[in-house]
Amino acid sequence: MSTKHASVTTIVQVDAEEKEVACDGGGVMGHPLVYLPFGKKNSIVCYYCGKRFQRRSSEASS
């Protein structure tokens, strides 16, 4: 039996050239604005709201 998770991880796709993203949670789940640098990673998870930011790679990996 498969149960739907009530809270699904939100994945936000951003341009591959983005160096960092700004997240304030958005809406009712808002939190103070934070900037999350990607560094050498292609994805980063906001430590406030758990939202995942994924950099689009120009070269498709699939």
**Nearest alpha-carbon partner for 54 in 10, 4, 24:** 10
Closest separation in Å from C-beta 1 to Zn ion: 32
Q: Is 45 in the site for Zn ion (CB under 5 A)?
A: no
CA-CA distance, 60 to 56, in Å (whole number)? 9
- Interface pick for Zn ion out of 21, 44, 46, 53 (rule CB under 5 A): 46
Report the DSSP pairing between strands 52-55 and 20-23.
Answer: unpaired
Q: Is 54 in the site for Zn ion (CB under 5 A)?
A: no
Per the listing, tokens 């990607």 go with 38
Q: Is 23 in the site for Zn ion (CB under 5 A)?
A: yes
Contact set with Zn ion (CB under 5 A): 23, 25, 46, 48-49, 51
